[in-house]
Amino acid sequence: MDNNNLLGKNIKCLRNFFGETQSDLGKILNLEKNTISEYENGKRTPITETMVKIAEHYGISVEVMMHSDLSPMVKMMKNTPFIENLVGPNSYIFYPSFVSEDCLDTGNDHLNKAYNKIRYIKRNLGNYEEISTTIFCDTLMELITASNEENGCNMEIHANILWTIFMWWSAFVDIEIQRNIKQKIMLKKIKASDLLGIDEKNSAVMNNKRVDFLKTNEIYINTAIKILKSREEWADLGDYYIAFRYLTNMVDTDFPANLNRTIGQEMMLSCIKMGNKYAINILSYFMDNQNPFN
């Protein structure tokens, strides 16, 4: 697909997602309906200024709009359960946790304590209740301790280490902010970029928390991903978490948050195209209104 057709397809996808007609978008851009139609059909290319306006209107980067096929993501985002859960406390459904009978049967006290805490976190976040830092920290320490013991559950433990860290990270966003975003989404009064979190540049406190969090947990994140990618049957999960690191700006780079998220979008789209089972599960199961990682 050439760039004009891809750009036009993406404009149409985004316009439909936000419930706008060609006339609606034309009014926003001070253009005729026919001009929007020509953009979407690939018969005409928007000038740079217009592309920037379209990208800003839909809260997405010009680069992604021009070069990435957004249809898989837009189809997924149009599904109500997906939209409700992406920014709320139920975001844990994007990160698979593992509680196998084999690992429970090992009798490992640290592992059992960690799994009980994981259930507690899921239950309380699902009810929009705040979880203390202590709970996340204790869960992580129990898992790390269990990973140092010979119990045959190393891969499962490291998958749950990542789950705990990502859920801890998501808890930095204030519960009230999450409720407000969810309300805006249901009223279709929000941009696509808002679905990926709060822009940290507006909060010095948030940014300081991010820096401290990454300093503390970077070694655990990198180790867990490396271990998962060392085994073929777990490698997809490692790649999936790498994409989500960028999507959630859980990376220590010199790039602004929006660029990190753009990189994450590209990674997740690549995961879908390459058949990554976790990315595919997110895409396909939400089409059926189901939790992919139950």
202 or 209: which leads in pLDDT: 209
Residue 133: CB atoms within 10 A of its CB come to 13
Q: What is the pTM of this model?
A: 0.65
* Arch. (CATH architecture) of 3-69: Orthogonal Bundle (1.10)
The reported pLDDT for the residue numbered 128 is: 56
pLDDT tens string 55-84: 888 777 787 788 877 776 666 555 444 444
The reported pLDDT for the residue numbered 287 is: 52
Band of pLDDT at residue 261, cut at 50, 70 and 90: confident
Q: How far apart are CA 100 and CA 59, in angstroms?
A: 40
Reply yes or no on whether the pLDDT at 184 is more than 70.
no
Q: What is the mean pLDDT of the chain?
A: 78
254 or 192: which leads in pLDDT: 254
pLDDT tens string 95-135: 888 888 888 888 889 999 999 999 888 877 766 567 788 99
The reported pLDDT for the residue numbered 234 is: 95
The CA-based angle 90-95-96, given to 5 degrees, is 110
The reported pLDDT for the residue numbered 202 is: 46
- Break the chain into its structural domains and give their ranges: 3-69, 77-287
* Averaged pLDDT for residues 18-40: 91
The reported pLDDT for the residue numbered 179 is: 55
Band of pLDDT at residue 200, cut at 50, 70 and 90: very low
* Averaged pLDDT for residues 18-44: 91
The reported pLDDT for the residue numbered 253 is: 80
Q: What percent of the chain has pLDDT over 70?
A: 72
Q: What is the DSSP letter of 22?
A: H
Nearest to 163 by CA among 125, 129, 209, 206: 125
Question: 88 Cβ partners below 8 Å, 6+ apart?
Answer: 128, 178, 179, 181, 182
